[in-house]
Structure 1
Amino acid sequence: METACLSARRCRVIEYGTDYSTIEDAAINGADPYADVPLPTLPDDSTAARFEAEVDRHLLAKRARAEADKRWSEEQRQAVELPAFARLDRFLDEPDELVRYRVDQLQAVDARVIVAAQYKSGKTTVIGNLIRCLVDGDPFLGKFPVETVGRVALLDDELSPRDLRRWLRDQGVVNAGRVHVCSLRGKVSAFDILNAETRAQWAAALTGTNYLILDCLRPVLDALGLDERRDAGRFLVAFDELLNDAGIGEAAVVHHMGHGGERSRGDSRLLDWPDANWKLVREDPDREGSPRYFSAFGRDVSVAEGRLEYEQSSRRLTYASGNRTDQAAEDALVDVVKTLIGTEPMSGRQVEESLTDTPHPRKAVRSGLKLAIGRGLVAVDTGPRGAKLHRIASPCRVCGGPLIGTEGAHLECRGGGE
């Protein structure tokens, strides 16, 4: 038996001994010699069929991966203990606890703070001061009483161990055995607390800690592939779980402000996550030696901006009165007085215009002039059309500068002028 493919569409199985002439004659006469042969079923290799087959293959792979992920999550899922509900009437009947502070006026017990700091504003120094006060009981920034804790843990991911040791040594911590330090520089990815197993390891290592400090946030976000503008909240949720699992009451997370800004850079969760925000700024962000200022706000926290006095040898900071607005007025006052010495009385606008080329903003000049009047250095007379004219109140007859508590001339001027 052989197969004769006599048509592009049909085939006939021909037995040996078949009369081929009969088939050929039928074809010559116009008859279809294959009329009794059915059309074959050919493989469908059209483009549409191949596309559908490829789609089916990918769908199968995706379904398999999704099912594998689901089963893996179920295997890894830990038993969750749901928090208890309370009826509102019974909840309201419970007595309110008085607010206790870990750091008076700045951080309540069981609270978290974000320390938002401008570039080179002294955040490392502030953290060193905080650590010393938490274990030694010194007032924080020389003003705010502290309720001490048994153990403080510092996770630092910016300084080298050498620099970190030097900065902390200068603080002169008495109870240094109650401070545990971990340098994460070069090993930041080890702090992957988004992973449940890794978080459990860190919780075990930190058990017994009462106060945890992370300095600072951005390197950790980078190491974990998190976007500062969108993903900081994911990390902070995991950080809260770490604190809960390790039984840690309070924490401080240090974060940088945006360039030229005065709020935590990035995700808005950095503003609403903490119970309180501590803010460190420089009077002039572009001048390294510019004075530093500290303020705090949040739940049960409201401390106005104050200047930080720095003691170089011990790296200790003291919170002093006076904010940047006050300091700007003080700085402007000096030039306001100089402008009025030896001149005709001037209106407020004339004083402002005469100081246009100085670093003082108009607002600071106005405040400086008001301050000078309040201190009796400058007097105000009524001029034509009710104009307010300013002059030195009691000028020295030698230098023309204002006199306070003396008459005629300054003591130093009398020696050279009389």
Structure 2
Amino acid sequence: MISNNRLTELEYQANFADIHPPFETRDAAAVEANRCLFCYDAPCIKSCPTSINIPKFIKQITTDNIKGSAHTIFVSNIMGAGCSKVCPVEKLCEGSCVYNLMHEEPINIAKLQRYSTEAAMANNWQLFSRKESNGKKVAIIGAGPAGLSCAHVLSREGTDVTIYEKEALGGGLMTYGIAAYKVTPEFCKAEVDYITSIGGIDIKYNQALGKDVSLKQLTEQYDAVYIAIGVGEARQLDIPGEDLAGVEDAISYIYHLRTSDYKEMPVGDRVAVIGLGMTAIDAATQAKRLGAKDVTIVYRRTYDEKPCTDVELDIAKLDGCQVEWLAAPKEIIGENGKVKQLVCSRMKLGEPDASGRKSPVDTGETFTLDVDMVIKAAGQMPFSELVNTEGLKNNYGKISVENKTVTNINKVFAGGDCVNGGKEVVDAVQAGKDGAAEILKFLGV
């Protein structure tokens, strides 16, 4: 039965509290920072898409130079505070820490990064000064990580930036697409405010490309345009019963969870989640934390091919979510227009596909799950129709670029998920930096 307001206010608060609590004292941060070996040619720097000088910022914490530490982080990644909460550090910086080779716990880089960056935000330290205006104007479409990162670099160089954002708040995926126990809406707003506090960045909300503004208009009004619209269309399952009441796509479900009161969010008793990426994990764990009795994740490959990290999967398992491996949705059966059962095909692994992972092959066997809610998290697709309408050269909706960011339209640049098809927040931040560098070169700044 899909209902809401299943838990008490205290239970909701506990279930959606910060999953990675920060260091509570300066001494605790200093003790962890002093474990760092400050490697020469540090592997952690190489594995960070934004190339944060990690040993340097940690060394600055050991000398109690927290302001300097925050500057070291922000100069490479202006969303360093948010990334410290959502980055899959186990496969990036912390995963490459030399302590792993010694079978010891890696340096808690994310927690140390959070310590410095949150201090900067809490004290509103202005660590960058904006150069005098150079008279150039740039429009950015999308106030997500790529757009904000690009805007900050441009503004530092004295370029005036106007961001057109389709939602009512900035932050993009951080604000609308990530589990609430990782980042709160309040934190996301504070991060956007902190980034724009440098000045020279004006965000116009509720302005969508293709609806409220067009590329043609913007290229006429501005010296350059940067597109950072992300991805957002949920991939369909293309199976019978997909239109029944109780079938949700994970993107919309998490969006509503981020914009509604927890007690207003409907959730089933028995929920099936299709897919095993980060979004699937977020949907599954949040359904459980909203009061679902049983949550089953259905994944068509095995543990070895899973797209999520071990850490993410462990969160779901600790919350009591089950995983059906080698299973693919075949049909959703309903009663009176509502979901009642999910029929799945048993799969086996065949030859590797284009992604390098072994392809799932239908064995002909099926099994049935009794469910009253199905959440689809089988991936996201680019905004194909939109980019085609605006005349952008693309590959199945992914905007085609040269030099990492130059599109086929004069004065128009692009980056982030709308180009790469969907990666991590930290990759989008780097894409924004690359875009800004190319735009400044183009403007002759």
TM range (shorter): under 0.3
Higher relative contact order (CA 8 A, sep 6+): 2
TM-score using structure 2 length: 0.20
TM-score using structure 1 length: 0.21
Larger Rg: 1
